């Protein structure tokens, strides 16, 4: 078993994160850019990491279950079947598998996340 500490996640300079490119399904003219670090990947597709996203509006693509703790920024998540969730640094959000909706990133957000299979 490996223990992989990532210290001061909110303070890591963006340039030290891997460039993951633009979001796949942008809705706004301002296209969000992604950066991150994958801490661990499991053979079933589950993964843990740090994710950062610049402002913009786009359609969520991750269909695995996910728990995320936000350490920086401000965003809204508009679920297809529910009320808008206001997300700020210090918040933790759980997405059930197949949670569909739209991200509206107002201020660059950063989160530590774990995606996992529910099968």
Per the CB < 8 A criterion, the answer to whether 64 and 97 are in contact is: yes
The predicted pLDDT at position 5 comes to 87
Domain ranges of the chain: 17-116
- Which among 91, 90, 94 has a CA at the least distance from the CA of 114? 94
Structure tokens at 88: 């700020």
- Tell how strand 18-22 and strand 33-41 pair up: antiparallel
- 2-35: pLDDT as tens digits: 888 899 999 999 999 999 999 999 999 999 999 9
Q: Which CATH architecture has domain 17-116?
A: Sandwich (2.60)
Count of positions (residues) in the chain: 119
- Kindly state the helix (H) or strand (E) to which residue 101 belongs, with its residue range: strand 101-116
CB atoms within 10 A of CB 111: 26
- 72-101: pLDDT as tens digits: 999 999 999 999 999 999 999 999 999 999
Q: How far apart are CA 8 and CA 113, in angstroms?
A: 15
């Amino acid at each position: 078993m490996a223990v992989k500490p990532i210290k001061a996640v909110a303070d890591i300079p963006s340039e030290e994160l891997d460039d993951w490119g633009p979001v796949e399904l942008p809705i706004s003219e301002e296209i969000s850019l992604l950066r991150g670090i994958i801490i661990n990947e499991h053979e079933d597709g589950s993964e843990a990491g740090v994710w950062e996203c610049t402002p913009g509006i786009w359609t969520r693509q991750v269909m695995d279950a996910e728990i995320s703790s936000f350490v920086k920024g401000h965003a809204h998540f508009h679920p297809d079947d529910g009320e808008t969730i206001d997300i700020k640094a210090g918040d933790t959000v759980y997405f059930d598998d197949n949670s569909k909706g739209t991200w509206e990133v107002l201020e660059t957000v950063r989160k530590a996340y774990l995606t996992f299979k529910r099968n």
